[in-house]
Structure 1
């Protein structure tokens, strides 16, 4: 009877050792290779598509900005996000909103998100900072976007994540162009 148990004990020991090796390898990979990293968000272009003002009615001023943001996903998992909204603020006041359609950013890939934002003049002019900024010919906006979704690694592991991005946009009225600086972070 002792001989018939010996192969089972060896088989169980080898199985336990292999299982421990697999678990240690998976944990090591998760904390090194698959550890979620911050995406890099850069503004590829901010264009002033139109700027119109009426000399007789200052409230009839409209600004259309074309914003294209590049997202570089350094993770080994794709990021699938839901529909969202981008907000453009002018000295703390929301002056425009733009929809961001649901999409997926591939693992270790790049993705461009583009949108057009129409800023209505009434919301700008009612802000007390507008006269001063118009005198310097630079209007400063802040664009914020929150994307909620999931990071998917090897179609097995899913983790909820939210990315927050904020871009400071300076609109140069006379040159009819815009510059921006963006920041981003991810919360898991």
Structure 2
């Protein structure tokens, strides 16, 4: 009887040892090579176009922001992202929005998406700040671009990440110029 149990114990012990070694190898691979990382996202205002500006007889403003969103995916798996939304605000009020459709960035690859956000002239002109800032010739805007998605490594490990890039820019409509944007980026992983 003891002779029959001995090969079974050896077999079970070998299987257990193999399972432990495989678990250690997969854990090591996960934390080194296949570790999910957050994508790096930057959004910049690459240009502004002012095609109309007037204070009298009625306030008018026709303004477009050209926004570039660049992303780098450091993962060894594709990063799938949802719709990329860019919102333009004037003193906290949303006065323009553009949405870029969902897409995918390949493994260890970069992608750039450009969009134009047309500013709602009525929203800006109806603000109590517009007459004073319009006369001064400087209109402060803020853009916020949000990217959210997930990377799936080896079909098992998932990482969700989102990034919000906020830029402040001042537009000088009389000169049809703008300042260089000052941007901050916030990344949320998990």
TM bucket by the smaller chain? 0.7 to 0.9
Kept after mapping to 1: 8 A contact 2:43/2:145: no
Kept after mapping to 1: 8 A contact 2:41/2:163: no
Alpha-carbon shift at residue 101 of structure 1 (Å): 0.5
Structure 1 position 158 matched with structure 2 position 158 = yes
CA distance 1:28–1:168, change in 2 (3 Å): farther
Structure 1 position 81 matched with structure 2 position 87 = no
Paired position in structure 2 for 1:119: 119
Gaps of 5+ in 2: none
C-alpha separation in 2, matches of 1:45 and 1:16: 58
Kept after mapping to 2: 8 A contact 1:48/1:178: no
Alpha-carbon shift at residue 94 of structure 1 (Å): 0.4
CA distance 1:122–1:137, change in 2 (3 Å): same
Paired position in structure 1 for 2:189: 187
Alpha-carbon shift at residue 123 of structure 1 (Å): 1.3
Alpha-carbon shift at residue 153 of structure 1 (Å): 1.2
The alignment yields a C-alpha RMSD, in angstroms, of: 2.7
Alpha-carbon shift at residue 119 of structure 1 (Å): 0.3
Paired position in structure 2 for 1:98: 98
Gaps of 5+ in 1: none
Alpha-carbon shift at residue 71 of structure 1 (Å): 1.1
C-alpha separation in 1, matches of 2:112 and 2:35: 23
Which stretch has the larger CA shift, 114-123 or 141-150? Answer: 141-150
Paired position in structure 2 for 1:109: 109
Paired position in structure 1 for 2:8: 8
CA distance 1:155–1:137, change in 2 (3 Å): farther
Give the paired residue count.
188
TM-score by length of 1: 0.80
Listed one character per residue, the Cα deviations across residues 85-130 of structure 1 (whole Å, up to 9, x for unaligned) are: 3211111010101112111122222111211100022211222333
TM-score by length of 2: 0.80
Paired position in structure 2 for 1:19: 19
C-alpha separation in 2, matches of 1:135 and 1:147: 36
Superposed counterparts of 1:4-83, under 5 Å: 4-43=4-43, 45-54=45-54, 56-83=56-83
SS in 2 for 1:18: helix
Which stretch has the larger CA shift, 98-107 or 157-166? Answer: 157-166
